[in-house]
Amino acid sequence: MMSRIHSVLLSIAGFFATLTFGFAVPIVCRPFYYIQISLLNLEETTGYSRETIRAAYDELMDYLLKGQPFGTGSLAWSPSGKSHFEDCLFLFHLDFTVLFISLGIILLLLLLYRFGKIRIHRFGGQSPFFYTGVFNIFLFLILGLWGAFSFDTMFVAFHTAFFPGKSNWIFDPNTDEIIRILPEQFFFNCAAAILIIIFVLSIFYIIQSLRSRKKQKNS
């Protein structure tokens, strides 16, 4: 019975680790945004220089990731806009917390298994990560199709779920100029990157599990 619990726990931890890692990559990888400056023609559409855009983005991300004082470079911001980013600060830290806890659980269980302290059940002969991969791909297909056909409704649903009862995520570009350099297409690209990361990792889990099962059968 315990071996089944360990297996389920590994699958769940794998799911949360993959999901939060997918979100963490575009958050931490600032070059991902820098590429968007040219890709989305932000200098032409906003009238700001590349240096102004980067300075605004960097100061915002320093606040969200490093806890430095809030600011958006030389771009104007409002108390309402700041309150939204305070909510984002909490969600960013929550994402990293869940990621590290999930990775810690995975590492602990694998070490205990490696040294013979616990057993891990293989449902259907597959490793727990096989089912993590299958579930992730199922989620990938649902969210991918939703985003491809109606990203607007997905965008609104996401903010409604994670910022319940609040409307401060709806920015006025005249009072919160930061939104001018964070167009909807940028968030679409972020969502696409997250889903691709989840998909690639999930395929890796499935392939490794299938190889492991084949190796066991041949041994």
In order along its 219 residues, the chain shows pLDDT tens digits of 568 888 999 999 999 999 999 999 999 999 999 999 999 999 999 999 999 999 999 999 999 999 999 999 999 999 999 999 999 999 999 999 999 999 999 999 999 988 888 888 888 888 899 999 999 999 888 988 888 888 889 889 988 988 988 889 999 999 999 999 999 999 999 999 999 999 999 999 999 888 877 776 665
> Hunting for tokens 């400056």 — which residue is that?
37
Question: Which residues make Cβ contacts (< 8 Å) with residue 109, sequence separation at least 6?
Answer: 6, 9, 10, 13, 118, 120
> Which residues constitute the domain of residue 62?
2-218
What local confidence, expressed as pLDDT, does residue 201 receive?
94
What local confidence, expressed as pLDDT, does residue 219 receive?
57
What local confidence, expressed as pLDDT, does residue 42 receive?
97
Q: Are 27 and 91 in contact (CB under 8 A)?
A: no
What local confidence, expressed as pLDDT, does residue 147 receive?
84
3-state secondary structure at position 209: helix
Compute the distance between CA of residue 68 and CA of residue 131 in angstroms, rounded to an integer: 40
Q: Are 14 and 205 in contact (CB under 8 A)?
A: yes
**Domain tally, the chain:** 1
Compute the distance between CA of residue 157 and CA of residue 125 in angstroms, rounded to an integer: 38
